[in-house]
Amino acid sequence: MDASSKPHRIPPAMGIYAERHNIFQLMQNMTEALLIYQPQDPIEFMIEHLKKDNDEVPSVFVLGPPASGKTTIALWLCKHLSATYLCPEELLRNKLLHRSREALVHQKREGKVPSDLWASMLEERLGDVDCVKLGWVLDGFPETRKQALQLQSVGIAPRHVVILKAPDMVLVERNLGKLVDPLTHEVYHTTFDWPIDFTVQKRLVRPDGISPKATARRLLESHRNIPGILQTYPNNHKIINADQPCADVFAQTLNFVQSRPHSEAPYTPRVLLLGPPGSGKSLQAALLVQKYRLVNVCFGDLLREQVAGRTAMGDLIKPFFGSGYPVNDSIALRVLKDRLAQPDCLSRGWVLHGFPRDVDQAVLMKQMGFEPNRVFFLNLPTDVAMQRLCQRATDPASGERYHTVFKPPSDEEVHHRLRRNPRDTPSRVERKAEVYARQVVDLEEYYEHAIFLNADQDPYTIFENIESRLVKPLPVTPARMQFAASPEGHL
């Protein structure tokens, strides 16, 4: 579309559908695959690509120097993501691969396997159904930039590359205590990870190449090769400090692997802020408007503008203001629809607060074609809300707002003329908080992908959190993924 023709008259439902089903990302993935594989029949290739339905499955390299914990982290990732574990040793042992025997011959004769042979075996293995449908995590490969480029030449490109890093002294100490179970190939350590099973203890053996001299040589080789690997994957790698508890390393790795890469998809923010009175919805909306030029849609202000403008809709709203009852849903939705359908909301996006009050209104809003793509619940205890609202007042002479605790007036004369808004009386605030508490449980269930924030903290900290969730893609959350910070599944 021509950007100069904005605002585009696109039905809101189109953008919602495209975002929900990742249409732009789907087209981008297919285009990338076409450029990588350059098939003779692009249409048939794209059909087969769609049938695989594996754009969101993990494809991860876990790299690092010896004893950095690559195998442990890779195995834990596979367990939590239900992915397939791969490593060079597994490829050599896999007799189903056509060139595994050739690779073993090279290893015995020359001490190493050529890069093109590794790439060929890995390409064949990644074509198996478990790797295609579940995804894969590759442990300890590639080791050099040449190997990485060879993998790229056959179309093997990971979505995430994890680089584990730790001081050499720590790595040497870890490596010298390493033991391997020859039956299961599990790695153990004499100090940090000793097996409980006595039978396993008896059969542990010390692997080759872990003497101090051999370890130093491997570390030096790793230090030489890592910069080249980082150059090969400049935009999708993350360096993680491995000199910390293993659960912390895993938590950081899992968070990175579940993150989506930056997308160039057109994105119009539609933000909904929900929270009890005093939770700071108006302030957060103002901050978003100031920085991102969103349209600030305060539902209460919309109603008051209609009444003040003496419009036909305002005449219908005015009796509700006098009685203290909520405005009828049909009237409220007509006012909201008229505002959200304006060109500025369609082209710049909006931040809505003060609506919906309950699930019925949320459903009606969705049926109108206006659905938020980011929902934030600002949680705040009632006693804190009472302190924030019931002790604020306004100077009628200057319009300046004060608070008896957080911003008291320094002038005694100003203090005496302060006036409190009738809406901030303790009884009214408490009643509003009770109404919100009754409705919020159903709203939380309805907006199942909402983000919950603690509103009892510095407002700019809250804004940074909202901002980070607004500008970054939401993490991948397939049903088969378990979001946990430790291998036992405890948060």
In a domain, 131, yes or no: yes
Q: What is the pLDDT of residue 479?
A: 39
- Cα dist from 431 to 383, 386, 437, whole Å: 13, 11, 10
Average pLDDT score over the chain: 84
pLDDT at 231 over 90: yes
Residue 191 has pLDDT above 90, yes or no: no
- Asked whether residue 386 is assigned to any structural domain, the reply reads yes
| Cα three-residue angle 482-484-489, rounded to 5 degrees | 90
| Helix, strand, coil percentages in the chain from 3-state DSSP, rounded to 5 | 50, 15, 35
Q: Look at residue 119 and tell me if it is in a domain.
A: yes
State the pLDDT at residue 4.
54
39 domain-assigned: no
**Is the pLDDT at 451 greater than 60, yes or no?**
yes
> Does pLDDT of 489 surpass 50?
no
Of the listed ranges 344-358, 363-377, 405-419, 466-480, the least confidently predicted one is 466-480
Q: What percent of the chain is modeled with pLDDT above 70? A: 91
- Looking at the structure, tell me whether residues 141 and 281 fall in a common domain: no
Q: And the tokens for 341?
A: 């359908």
DSSP string, 51-88: HH--TTS-EEEEE-STTSSHHHHHHHHHHHHTPEEE-H
pLDDT tens digits, one per residue of 237-266: 999 999 998 899 999 999 899 887 666 666
Residues 316 and 242 in one domain: no
**Dihedral, CA of residue 429, residue 430, residue 431 and residue 432, to nearest 10:** 50
The enclosing H or E element of 328 equals none
Q: Are residues 252 and 363 in the same domain?
A: no
Q: How far apart are the first and last CA of the chain?
A: 45
Q: What is the pLDDT of residue 484?
A: 36
What pTM was estimated for this model as a whole?
Answer: 0.61
Quick check: is 84 in a domain? yes
Distance of CA 381 to the CA centre of its chain: 27
pLDDT at position 155, please? 85
β partners of residue 423: none
pLDDT for residue 475: 55
pLDDT score of 482 more than 50: no
CATH number at residue 207: 3.40.50.300
Please state the domain count of the chain. Answer: 2
Q: What is the pLDDT of residue 477?
A: 47
Which tokens in the block code for residue 389?
């609202």
Of 366, 377, 404, 372, the C-alpha closest to 466 is 377
Structural domain containing residue 359: 270-471
225 found inside a domain: yes
pLDDT at site 472: 66
Q: What would the two tokens of residue 394 be?
A: 């306004």
Whether residue 358 sits in one domain with residue 216: no
Tokens at residue 134, please? Answer: 């579940």
36 within some domain: no
Question: Do 239 and 277 share a structural domain?
Answer: no
| pLDDT band per the 50, 70, 90 thresholds, residue 186 | confident
> Is residue 20 exposed (0-12), middle (13-18) or buried (19+ Cβ within 10 Å)?
exposed
* 46 lies in some domain: no
CA distances from residue 277 to 228, 318, 388, 459 in whole angstroms, order as listed: 55, 22, 9, 15
Q: Are residues 305 and 390 in the same domain?
A: yes
Per the model's pLDDT, the better-predicted residue between 36 and 368 turns out to be: 368
Residues 458 and 373 in one domain: yes
* Residue 67 pLDDT greater than 80, yes or no: yes
